[in-house]
Homo-oligomer: A and B are copies of this chain.
Amino acid sequence: MAPAPHPLQMLSVQETETARGIVLATHPDHVIEFRQVDLKEPVKKDLVQYLQLEHAGQLTEKSTRPPRMAKCHYDIIAADRTIEYYEAIIDLEQGKMVENKAVGKEFSPSLTLGEFDTLIEVCEASSVFKAAIEELKLPSHMEVIIEPWPYGSLEVGDEPGRYFQGLVYARDTRNGNNPDSNFYSFPIPLIPVVDYHKRELVRIERLATGGKGDGLKAAARDSTKHPLAHCTTAEYVPELIQGGVRKDLKELSVIQPDGPSFKVSDGSLVEWQKWRFRVSFTAREGVIIHDVQYDNRDVFYRLSISEMTVPYADPRAPFHRKQAFDFGEGGAGMCANNLSLGCDCLGAIKYFDAVTVERDGKVKVQPNVICLHEQDNGIGWKHTNWRTNRAVVTRNRELVVQFILTLANYEYVFAYKFNLSGEVDIEVRATGIVSCVNIDAGKVSEYGNVVNPGVLAQNHQHIFAVRIDPAIDGHANTVIQEESVPEPMNAKTNPMGNFYRVVQTPITRSQWADAAPLSSRIFKIVNPSKLNPISMKPVGYKLVPPPTQLLLADRRSLQAKRALYAQHHVWVTKYKEGELWAAGPYPFQSQGEVGGVQDMVDRGDNVENEDVVVWSVFGLTHNPRVEDWPVMPVEIHQIQLKPADFFTANPSIDVPSSKNLASKLVANGSCCEGKGLTLNGANGINGSTNGVVH
């Protein structure tokens, strides 16, 4: 018999099928549709106990193992097609459902890609939709494309129900009918709204296409022309780019002749340069990093991206309903790219698959959704003794766990980066195609920027929440806010005026806090019971909260009420089982954040020397540039988790000096001619000294 999977190992195909079977068997007389089936992580106290044995090398056959569980999200479909939404927990070893909860009608489950398909089918079958398109008198080479979106919030006048909206574009079929021709440059000023339960088109919104001075209502369009008459192509697939792709960018390859420095074992365990952690993946969160240790010391229990909201700022109805919650509504894991199809990394790459379940219960392998590789990030540390001219320099090697989402027009590249200096960075790169709508010829708008003729890219924000469940040498931690503050000149403490004071304020009750970069405000997560033997300060890691703009929407708006989390940079809460969602578990079609960080904070828990959770909120206000079109260059944001008196010295001090013999000397752009290049440094990675490269 194969050994039992590790408690953090993602569900296998077989386990997922078992869980599905148990759900179906529970409801023999009903139509069931599945939303998600994922590992139900063991409760923390059980898992911690197990991990402690594992870390100590004391696991035996007889050790208590947390039961292997699955969490199933599914619907019972009624005759009128309305859904009853359930969340069940299945004990896979006992083969039975141990919990089953009908989620109240006040909450809506997140969307599935199957629901998106339904939206498209309903529109395409709708004579009303067809008539609305025909009204526009588009030329016959324009093929209509519907881009499904969540609906936003229910509003006054909406019947209760489950809604989706569609942005509508047209694809110009004249260039060989290429299915990847960029249809976003032809925005059709219609938004159909569909009731998913009824499978009905509820209405079609006619969109304002005016510009500055036209106000909130649609201005009169030139009715002699169809609304795409002034739009032009803007292609990004290489074979359609005008003039073709450039030819003068020469190959740059990353070679690891001895293979990678990392090791993956036991399905999910990654070991690299004293780091040790496990990787898993869920439909909602994408990659999760568990049980992070450095040199056998606990650092983090769990790292994840909890939520992201993307509110749009165009005040013209119905654009205020463009507000996506890409994790809670969309499902980051569900929308993850197959990375080997995108060729997204250089070097020696390890891919991980995930298992997913389709609407009809079909269990599928979702291949290559996570990639793992090493990368070089420039100089790691350097010092030259100017007396002897001896330079010692190391490279900053990183281990990267990456996943990439495509959400309709847009993509996000998420990376957890571990480096040689004991640091974990969580990076997001925003790219893809900016969301856009039609604007009349020759107009400009204060609601966005014209990025292609007839194309208005609307102003918007992206606000992320990263969930950090720390374990700084154990689970009883305290978060300390630290600032560097000026001290007025005074004879007693600051006679020459050069002193500044470092002020620490421990956070004792659950609360939010904001970034204050002009005070160098940082948050140290420390273990108050363990002092660094050198500095005599508690061992810790620090978070420098990125001081990015918070949610701009008026506090009374639905956008703001649905995303309370996006209104502060840092939230400190006490760990509670299952509390993983910054904007609450059910943002889909929500009218306000329920069960999110604001509610957690409102409990007023003691968080001093406790099992705390830190939520880091950051983002970007994105007023599009023309350069963001047709596909935008990555906009990079990251948070850094850095050791702060956690170690007794720079943990990368024993990294060998770089002396890379593969590097080449260039004489004025022609490689490798001229004199040899002598690279100094002892104990090089390649094991030889004073290599000469020609």
> Which of A433, A534, A670 has the most C-beta atoms of chain B within 10 angstroms of its own C-beta?
A534
A-B pairs, top 4 by smallest CB distance, nearest first, are A497-B557, A259-B671, A497-B554, A253-B662
Chain B contacts for A315, CB-based, 8 A? 493-496, 498-499
Q: In the bound complex, what is the Cα–Cα distance between A500 and B319 (angstroms)?
A: 13
CB distance from A245 to the nearest CB of B (A): 4
Decide if A38 is an interface residue (CB 8 Å cutoff).
no
The answer on a CB contact under 8 Å between B554 and A494 is yes
- Taking a contact as CB atoms under 8 Å apart, the answer to whether B256 and A273 are in contact is no
| CB < 8 Å neighbour of A554 from B320, B432, B487 | B487
* A486 interfacial contact with B, CB 8 Å: yes
- Residues on B with beta carbons closer than 8 Å to the beta carbon of A261: 248-250
A28 at the B interface (CB under 8 A): no
Contact with B along A673-691 (1 / 0, CB 8 A): 0000111111101100000
| Cβ contacts under 8 Å, A382 to chain B | 342, 344, 404, 411, 413, 431-432, 631
Contact among B342, B384, B634 for A380, CB-based, below 8 A: B634
Partner of A534, one of B251, B453, B493, B660: B453
Contacts A251-B686, A379-B413, A626-B647: A553 and B633 contacting too (C-beta < 8 A)?
no
Q: How far is the CA of A663 from the CA of B350 in the complex (A)?
A: 11
Given A489-B557, A534-B626, A633-B652, 9 extra CB contacts under 8 A: A216-B495, A250-B259, A251-B662, A317-B495, A349-B665, A379-B634, A381-B631, A450-B534, A498-B553
- Report 14 cross-chain contacts, Cβ distance below 8 Å, ordered by A residue: A248-B273, A251-B685, A253-B255, A262-B669, A315-B494, A350-B669, A372-B666, A383-B631, A444-B537, A487-B554, A498-B557, A520-B549, A627-B649, A627-B651
How many angstroms from the CA of A561 to the CA of B376 in the assembled complex?
Answer: 41
Closest to A371 in B: B666
* Nearest B residue (CB) for A521: B549
A621 contacts B by Cβ under 8 Å: yes
How far, in angstroms, from A63 to B214 measured CA to CA in the complex?
Answer: 54
In A547-575, which residues have CB < 8 Å from any B CB? 547-550, 552-560
Write the chain B residue with the least CB distance to A485. B552
Cα–Cα distance between A338 and B519 once the two chains are bound (Å): 37
Q: Tell whether A646 is near chain B: CB-to-CB under 8 Å.
A: yes
A376 to B381, CA, bound (A): 20
* Centre residue among A450, A532, A626 by max chain B CB count within 10 A: A626
**Which residues does chain B contribute within 8 Å of A484, judged by CB atoms?**
459, 549, 552, 621, 623
A75 at the interface (CB under 8 A from B): no
A459 to B500, CA, bound (A): 8
Select one of B250, B253, B517, B656 contacting A245, CB under 8 A. Answer: B656
Contact B502 A535 (CB under 8 A): no
Which residues on B sit within 8 Å (CB–CB) of A265?
A: 668-669
Q: Which of A493-541 contact B (CB under 8 A)?
A: 493-502, 515, 517-520, 532, 534-537
| Cβ < 8 Å to B, chain A residues 307-356 | 311-315, 317, 319-320, 323, 335, 337-338, 340-351
Chain B residues near A251 (CB-CB < 8 A): 255-258, 660, 662, 685-686
Size bracket, chain A contacts: 35 or more
Whether A489 pairs with B383 at a CB distance below 8 angstroms is no
CB <8 Å contact, A340 and B654: no
Decide if A589 is an interface residue (CB 8 Å cutoff).
no
A57 at the interface (CB under 8 A from B): no
In the complex, whether A1 has a CB less than 8 A from a CB of chain B is: no
Decide if A630 touches B643 in the complex (CB within 8 Å): no
Q: CB distance B655 to A245 under 8 Å?
A: yes
Chain B residues near A658 (CB-CB < 8 A): 343, 346
Scan residues 224-258 of chain A and give those whose CB is less than 8 A from a CB of chain B.
234, 236-239, 241, 243-246, 248-258
**Are A644 and B627 touching (Cβ within 8 A)?**
yes
Which of A4-12, A83-91, A96-104, A391-399 contacts the other chain?
A391-399
For residue A406, CB closer than 8 A to chain B, the reply is yes
- CB pair B452–A534 under 8 Å, yes or no, is yes
Which of chain B's residues have a CB closer than 8 A to the CB of A670?
259
With contacts A256-B664, A654-B246 taken as known, whether A626 is within 8 angstroms of B557 at the C-beta atoms is no
Task: Say whether A385 faces chain B, with CB atoms less than 8 Å apart.
Answer: yes
Residues of chain A in range 449-473 having any CB-CB distance to chain B below 8 Å:
449-453, 459
Judge whether A3 is part of the interface by a CB distance below 8 angstroms: no
Give complex CA distance A659, B677 in Å.
30
- Check if A187 is an interface residue, CB within 8 A of chain B: no
CB within 8 Å for A234 and B381 given contacts A656-B249, A666-B259: no
Q: When the two chains form their complex, are residues A534 and B389 in contact, meaning their CB atoms are under 8 A apart?
A: no
B554 lies within 8 A of A254 (CB): no
The verdict on A192 contacting chain B, using a C-beta distance below 8 Å, is no
Contact B500 A313 (CB under 8 A): yes
Q: Within 8 Å CB of A449, what residues of B? A: 535, 537, 645
Q: CB distance A627 to B646 under 8 Å?
A: yes
Closest to A153 in B: B496
What chain B residues lie within 8 Å of A661 (beta carbons)? 253
- Residues A657 and B343 in contact in the complex (CB < 8 Å), given A315-B493, A552-B484: yes
State whether the Cβ of A421 lies closer than 8 Å to any Cβ in chain B. yes
Specify which chain B residues have a CB less than 8 angstroms from the CB of A160 in the assembled complex.
none
Closest to A662 in B: B253
- Contact across chains for B656 and A246 when beta carbons are under 8 A apart: yes
Which of A234, A391, A449, A677 is packed against the most chain B CB atoms within 10 Å? A391
B685 near A249: Cβ-Cβ < 8 Å? yes
- How far, in angstroms, from A338 to B677 measured CA to CA in the complex? 12
Q: B residues within 8 A CB of A422?
A: 627
Residues on the B chain within 8 Å of A431, using CB: 379, 381-383
Q: Are B497 and A379 in contact (CB under 8 A)?
A: no
Residues of B within 8 A of A388 (CB): 179-180
Whether A115 sits at the interface, judged by CB under 8 Å, is no
Q: Is A285 on the interface with B (CB-CB < 8 A)?
A: no
